[in-house]
Amino acid sequence: MVTLRDDRRLTAVDEGRGDVQPASTGRSTRTLLAVIAFVLVVWALRASAIITMPVAFALFLTIVCLPVQRRFEKVLPHWLSVVGVLLMLVGILAALGGVAFFAIRQVSERGPEYADRFRQHADAVQQWMQRRGLSSGESLVPSEMMFENAMGWVTTGLTTLWGVGAFLGFTLFLVGLMLLEMRRWRQKTQETFSSEASRTTMQTCHEIVGTLQRYLTSHTAISAASGILQGLWCLVLGVDFALLWALTAFLLNYLPNIGSLISFIPPTLMAFIQYDAAWAGVTVACLAGTDMIMGNVVAPLVQGKSLRLSPVVILVSVVFWGWVWGVMGAVLSVPITASLVIICLHVEGLRPIGRMLSEPCAGKRDRGKSAAMTPACPAR
């Protein structure tokens, strides 16, 4: 009968001879179990999106609101500071909702006018294609009933955005609970884990909170600036509904990489409907030039190197989390991925994954001032 000690000795002998290693089989088993666990977790997140998505959104919103809550707490009781933060969030949402309602009302009132202009431009495009033999003779303009139905669908789709009220209400409720419990979290961590594990957990959480606060605050400022500039360009170029396009650009800029590109489409189409294709080209050129300056000059100056996530990783994370949680998952993709990278970098077995998902560490010139601040270069 072979005992456990004998089995270990046999394993060591086999390793010395270069035979098939039982340890390799164990690593393969652990890898397979990790893959199965990952698939199950993703399936659970996708199936429970109605609950897990608001919880994740509330958690990141709580992280952003923590500095404001702490400032309120200097002059107000703890519970009243939480109420102040919630009232501030409600005020911001009410302001955005009021702007959206005003813009949507303008669109619905002037819809028939733009429908006629759209038909005229579509007819001109069809005639141009027929002169060059590019048209099959079928009309490019939808029938009267189809177009009226399409306008109705657009109007209905815009007005049903108020249905997100339940989601926002639940999220604000969770934010209030998290802010109230945040005070006791440190004590609970110290009581639950050992001193070393508690210190590691607190260090990881502090790094996640600091990184996300810097990213979300700077990204909100950049999104607001992009929306304002896009609205001003629409006013200068005479494109209608400049307020709506500014709000759209502000919200879509929260979608990394692709949001700003999508925000060009509505004002460009409106410029085409109002004027002609040449003016639409001028509009998209102005908007694209502004976005290039904001993305390549202003954003690096404001955000610095707070995340150090590879652009490919960001794009893949947007697609992946968008598939799991829809649009809100795409919005939260960068904070979630950055948090997971930081966690991986603080866990010995997962550190290679964290380094593969992030960009290389800073060079010698800026290693001292930024290496310990970024998830790709944790403090040693």
Q: What is the mean pLDDT of residues 59-82?
A: 88
The CA distances from residue 68 to 89, 181, 200, 294, 352, in Å, are: 11, 16, 26, 27, 36
Name the CA radius of gyration of the chain, rounded.
27
pLDDT above 80 for 351: yes
Residue 109 lies in a domain: yes
Per-residue pLDDT band at 11 (split at 50, 70, 90): very low
Residue linked to tokens 């300056």: 293
Residue 29 lies in a domain: no
Residue-range definition of the domain harbouring residue 119: 48-150+164-180
What are the tens digits of pLDDT across the range 217-269? 888 888 898 899 998 998 998 888 888 888 888 988 888 878 888 888 889 88
pLDDT at 43: 92
Q: What is the mean pLDDT of residues 44-57?
A: 90
pLDDT at 334: 87
Mean of the per-residue pLDDT values of the chain: 77
pLDDT over 90, % of the chain: 8
Count how many domains the chain has: 1
Q: Which residue has the higher pLDDT, 190 or 17?
A: 190
Residue 94 lies in a domain: yes
What are the tens digits of pLDDT across the range 269-314? 888 888 878 888 899 999 888 888 887 777 777 665 566 777 788 8
Residue 197 lies in a domain: no
Residue 66 lies in a domain: yes
How close are the terminal C-alpha atoms of the chain, in Å? 47
Residue 52 lies in a domain: yes
Which two tokens mark 155? Answer: 């109007």
Instruction: Tell me the C-alpha distance between 347 and 340, whole Å.
Output: 11
pLDDT at 361: 58
pLDDT over 70, % of the chain: 76
What are the tens digits of pLDDT across the range 112-159? 777 777 777 677 777 777 777 665 555 555 545 444 555 555 555 555
Residue 57 lies in a domain: yes
Residue 262 lies in a domain: no
Look at 18-22, 91-95, 170-174, 308-312 and tell me which has the smallest mean pLDDT. 18-22
Instruction: Tell me the C-alpha distance between 311 and 317, whole Å.
Output: 10
